[in-house]
């Protein structure tokens, strides 16, 4: 088989005491698709200290002349963020974008209905788009499809993208920006399927609104890309599949993406069950892939539609029994080592579905369920930061399909899963395979025997590894080096003509091998 590598992850828990037997086959001809750069997107909501005290802190010695925290921007860039979603999230369903433009002293302070805070509106559309340009990220604006109107959405596109001499283009110029921002990505609302959402609608009412909003927005700028509000409510009694079916059926001629949202947690303190969430992520993606195919079926010129997984993360500690109670926690989740491993689990799923998942946004960027955490003196990087930054180096590479035989386990309430959760990408220019391996066994190391079908793979390999003995290890201010990756170049041991490598228990490894 042309350009194929066979990785034989070998050995079994036999009398010899060797590691369990497993096998992975990699064939660079088995192309899934390009790993789109926007899979490494992020999200900034007006919630807690994400914007105020996070991205934006005027008067701080750590901020630039426009009030943007320089240390946060540098950390964001170091994480490889490509796309930034704003302003929500639940916040946007009660947000009037016009409150956030013009002279700051004249902007109204309003109570916001999503999280129970006061919104000063000193960081609005111009600040967000200016910040995105300075940070070198693509902006993604989500409209208010809850309490907002079609005309609000149309005028927002006019304000940001119109080049002609119109009312809202003149207002933008009056506010200091002559050149249109040319915002390309627009979300048609946030989590409108959720009963917690301001302006919650059933699928039929949502699609009526979204269809008219899409029409009006595209009349201003036909080049924009639109993301429909897909499923976020997977609770008991929620028909998430039907929601997506209706959205795709009614909006298939207007949208470019449909969104999915997923948050996971380890409330039961069971490591292996926690990392079995990949089964849910894979299932949700694959169901929506089928629904997209059905919506496009029999239509030769059907519009391409992709999946935007535009909210995802670990989130279960900083929660309350209502939206306002949750808001009072400011969602300041402190992440540990096992949460860092979950980042690899999410990215492995996105890479395995690289032909359909063309956008993904970690929620969120700073302080609020975030990899970056600040105070007035500085910041620290949470353990989840490092896998995100490393996976981002695989953007634009080719995702390739794996065949995996691995020791299995039976998580509670789920089908059997392999202990090895894997994905792979291929860089044709350098003939390098990136093998991403999450060993989600809490107790078992797994040894890999590596074999190239067309000859021997190079004995030298670059290794990136997250590995720590304490699954609950965390970081804090002045102490954020405890849970960090190790990198090394190794000469792989040989088992006959085949190289051998061991993936440690409860670890995340990216192994780079030259063909």
Three-class HEC string of 258-320: EEEEEEECCCCCCHHHHHHHHHHHHHHHHHHHHHHHHHHCCCCCCCCCEEEEEEEEECCCCCC
Placement of tokens 């107790």 in the chain: 443
Helices (H), 102-239: 125-135, 150-161, 167-174, 203-220
Token pair 């170091």 in the structure block, residue: 78
- Environment class of 409 (CB within 10 Å of its CB; exposed 0-12, middle 13-18, buried 19+): middle
- Token readout for 490 is 């190794």
Distance of CA 124 to the CA centre of its chain: 23
- In the block, tokens 């909003």 appear at 213
Q: Angle, to 10 degrees, between the axis of helix 203-220 and the axis of helix 240-251?
A: 40
Confirm whether 442 is a catalytic residue: no
**Strand 83-86, strand 41-43: pairing:** parallel
CB atoms within 10 A of CB 260: 24
Q: Do β-strands 408-409 and 23-34 pair in parallel, antiparallel, or remain unpaired?
A: unpaired
Q: Which helix (H) or strand (E) covers residue 330, if one does?
A: none
The two three-digit tokens of residue 97, written as one number: 């974008």
Beta strands 185-188 and 225-228 are parallel
Radius of gyration of the chain (CA): 23
Q: Per the residue annotation, which of 127, 191, 254, 390 is the catalytic one?
A: 191
Residue 297 CB partners (closer than 8 Å, separation 6+): none
DSSP state of 385: H
Is 311 marked active-site? yes
CA proximity to 364, closest of 126, 88, 111: 88
The CB density around residue 270, as the number of other CB atoms within 10 Å, is: 13
Q: Which of 162, 311, 333, 390 is catalytic?
A: 311
Backbone φ and ψ for 356, nearest 5 degrees, come out as -115, -35
Positions marked catalytic: 191, 311
């Amino acid at each position: 088989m042309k350009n194929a590598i066979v990785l034989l992850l070998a050995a079994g828990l036999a009398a010899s005491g060797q590691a369990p037997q497993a096998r992975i086959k990699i064939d660079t001809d088995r192309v899934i698709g390009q790993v789109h750069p926007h899979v490494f997107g992020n999200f900034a909501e007006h919630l807690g200290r994400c914007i105020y005290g996070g991205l934006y802190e005027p008067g701080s010695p750590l901020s630039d002349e426009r009030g943007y925290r320089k240390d946060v921007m540098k950390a964001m860039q170091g994480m490889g963020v490509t796309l930034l979603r704003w302003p929500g999230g639940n916040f946007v369903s009660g947000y009037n974008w016009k409150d956030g433009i013009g002279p700051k002293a004249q902007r109204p302070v309003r109570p916001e209905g999503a999280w129970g805070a006061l919104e000063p509106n000193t960081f609005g559309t111009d600040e967000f788009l200016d910040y995105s340009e300075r940070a070198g990220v693509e902006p993604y604006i989500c409209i208010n499809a809850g309490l907002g109107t079609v005309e609000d959405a149309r005028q927002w596109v006019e304000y940001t993208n119109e080049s002609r001499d119109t009312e809202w283009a003149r207002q933008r110029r009056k506010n200091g920006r002559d050149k249109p921002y040319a915002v390309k990505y627009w979300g048609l609302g946030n989590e409108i399927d959720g009963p917690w959402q301001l302006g919650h609608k059933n699928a039929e009412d949502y699609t009526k609104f979204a269809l008219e909003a899409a029409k009006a927005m595209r009349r201003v700028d036909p080049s924009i890309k639109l993301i429909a509000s897909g499923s976020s409510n997977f609770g008991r009694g929620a028909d998430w599949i039907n929601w997506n079916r209706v959205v795709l059926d009614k909006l298939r001629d207007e949208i470019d993406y449909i969104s999915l949202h997923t948050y996971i947690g380890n409330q039961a303190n069971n490591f292996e069950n926690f990392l079995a969430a990949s089964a849910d992520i894979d299932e949700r993606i694959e169901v929506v892939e089928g629904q997209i195919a059905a919506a496009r079926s029999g239509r030769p010129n059907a519009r391409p539609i992709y999946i935007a997984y535009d909210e995802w993360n670990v989130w279960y500690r900083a929660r309350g029994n209502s939206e306002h109670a949750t808001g009072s926690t400011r969602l300041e989740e402190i992440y540990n080592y096992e949460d860092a491993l979950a980042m690899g689990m999410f990215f492995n799923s996105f890479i395995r579905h690289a032909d359909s998942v063309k956008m993904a946004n970690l929620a969120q960027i700073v302080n609020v369920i975030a990899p970056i955490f600040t105070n007035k003196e500085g910041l620290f990087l949470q353990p989840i930061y490092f896998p995100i930054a490393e996976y981002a180096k695989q953007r634009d590479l080719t995702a390739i399909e794996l065949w995996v035989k691995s020791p299995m386990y039976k998580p509670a309430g789920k089908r059997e899963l392999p202990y090895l959760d894997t994905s792979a990408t291929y860089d044709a220019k350098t003939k390098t395979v990136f093998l991403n391996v999450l060993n989600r066994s809490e107790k078992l190391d797994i040894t890999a025997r590596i074999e190239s079908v067309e000859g021997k793979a190079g004995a030298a390999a670059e290794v990136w590894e997250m590995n720590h003995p304490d699954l609950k290890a965390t970081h804090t201010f002045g102490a954020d080096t405890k849970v960090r990756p190790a990198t090394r170049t190794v000469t792989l041991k040989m088992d006959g003509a085949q190289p051998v490598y061991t993936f440690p228990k409860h670890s995340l490894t990216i192994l780079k091998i030259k063909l």
